[in-house]
Amino acid sequence: MNFRSIRFRLAAWHTALFTAVFALLGLVLFATVQRYVEGTILETQARRARQIAETLLANEPRTGEPYVVREIEALYAPELGDRFIRVTRSDGSVLYLSGPPNDQSFDPASVPPAGTASAAEFTRSERTADGRSVLVAAFRASTGQGPRYLVEVGTSADPVERLAGHLLWTLALGVPLVIAVAAAGGYLLVRRALAPVEEIAGKAESITQHSLSERLPVPSAGDELAALSLALNRMITRLDDAFGNSKRFVADASHELRTPLTVIQGELENLSADPHLPADLRDRVGSTLEEVERLGKIVQKLFALSRLDAGEAQSEWVRVDLAGLASSTADQMLLLAEDRNIKVSREADGEVPVMGDRARLKQVLVNLIDNAVKYTPPGGSVRLKSYRDGSRAVVEVADTGVGIPAEALPHVFERFFRVDRDRSADGGAGLGLSIVRSICAAHGGRVEAESAPGAGSRFRVTLPLAPAASAPAKPSP
């Protein structure tokens, strides 16, 4: 799982927020309920204590203590009401102590004494010796000559604790369950909402310069993602237009240049064929003709490139053995290498069949071999190697030449790029390698270059291997 994904982060935030809110809510609920119930119970006890003090003990000087005791038992029956009542004289001796309550929830005898608190009326929560909790309200009864008795009325805190425990359990089980459901729901919801993003991203990844006619999927929800997808699609349309314009421009420009070039070339030829032309003029016309011819070549290459990029240049699609093609092409260029005292070696690992346009594929090899020979000093060597690599066909052209500087290497396949001016003394326009790249791309493959300046370069052409065919490949010319 990607922890940085929006899906995960949203779900995590959402869960954390839920947890915090529920925890706070639980705490507040728990505290409020506990305080309310405890308060209600204590209030009841306090009312009884006050009644006993004001109705019975206030008249004690007149009625006598035994009467008070009898009346308490008769009127309040503490044992039956699961309560405890204790009346203590101001000297600390106990006037009355109720017996064990009916439900045996605590032992009144073990409730600790009230201590030295001097308030007229107070409440407290006590723990008996056997560990039971008791809620006690106390009231000081005065009989005219100042307080003489302390009346305590208490009851077991068990119901409160049971309620609190119950509540705690409910919260402890319920809250995590609710959070889990909320988290899972949130995650699924976010995932569903973001699913089109992955689809859009995947499609966007697959659109290249050559497939600009394709468009991203637009979610049908009409939401923000649909708007995003539409906006991106409009951008792709603009890119498509821009690429199309530039391709059309190159195609149109090279097309339009052809006719005037034909006229210039024809007229200059005509001129140079004139026997009355002085030798120096003839030479100048010849020199101009050379440049016109070069211009014509550039125009043709540009046009070929624009057609290749438009994907309409394959005039045939046949099975071609790259190894055989490499070997026969090298044969036809052997003298070029021998002329510079360069050795050409060929290495092939059986047949390496691909599907494609034979003439175009040969052009790739011609350009690469020509480059290798051109940039290798006399005495060096050029090595051709063809092999299968899984489902791919590979041809490598390696030389022991001057190499390509690291900063130039990424640009060697760009149009009109030259490593340096001196290298193109023969008049190349810097289009050969872009044609190689375009042909490879048109065949569903690619070309890569690596180089160690001073030690040599290696160009590697990788094309999809042709599927096994029953018919044997065409023999090489």
Residues that bind another protein (CB under 8 A): 255, 258-259, 261-270, 272, 282-283, 285-290, 292-293, 296-297, 299-301, 303-304, 307, 312-313, 315-316, 329, 332-333, 335-336, 339, 357, 359-360, 362-363, 365-367, 370, 426, 432
Shortest distance in whole angstroms from residue 255 CB to another protein: 5
Shortest distance in whole angstroms from residue 227 CB to another protein: 43
Cβ closer to another protein: 316 or 347?
316
Cβ closer to another protein: 183 or 289?
289
Shortest distance in whole angstroms from residue 453 CB to another protein: 24
329 sits in the region (left: phi over 0; alpha: psi -120 to 50; else beta) called: alpha
Shortest distance in whole angstroms from residue 246 CB to another protein: 18
Cβ closer to another protein: 110 or 300?
300
Whose CA is closest to 199, among 236, 225, 238, 231? Answer: 225
Shortest distance in whole angstroms from residue 437 CB to another protein: 16
Shortest distance in whole angstroms from residue 424 CB to another protein: 12
Cβ closer to another protein: 148 or 307?
307
Cβ closer to another protein: 267 or 389?
267
Cβ closer to another protein: 123 or 438?
438
Shortest distance in whole angstroms from residue 290 CB to another protein: 5
390 sits in the region (left: phi over 0; alpha: psi -120 to 50; else beta) called: left
One-letter identity of residue 113 = P
Return d(Cα 52, Cα 55) in angstroms, integer: 6
> What Å distances lie between residue 240 and 205, 208, 210, 216, 307, CA to CA?
16, 10, 9, 13, 16
∠ Cα 129 131 137 (to 5°): 80
Q: Dihedrals φ, ψ of 273, to 5°? A: -80, -10
Are the C-beta atoms of residues 57 and 141 closer than 8 Å to each other? yes
Cβ closer to another protein: 38 or 357?
357
Shortest distance in whole angstroms from residue 242 CB to another protein: 23
Count CB-CB contacts under 10 A for residue 64: 11
Return d(Cα 202, Cα 281) in angstroms, integer: 64
Task: Name the burial class of residue 136, with classes exposed (0-12), middle (13-18) and buried (19+) by CB atoms within 10 angstroms of its CB.
Answer: buried
User: What tokens were used for 115?
Assistant: 């201590």
Whose CA is closest to 57, among 43, 78, 72? Answer: 72
Cβ closer to another protein: 299 or 355?
299
User: What tokens were used for 204?
Assistant: 């966007």
- Under DSSP, is residue 276 helix (H, G, I), strand (E, B) or coil? coil
Count CB-CB contacts under 10 A for residue 256: 11
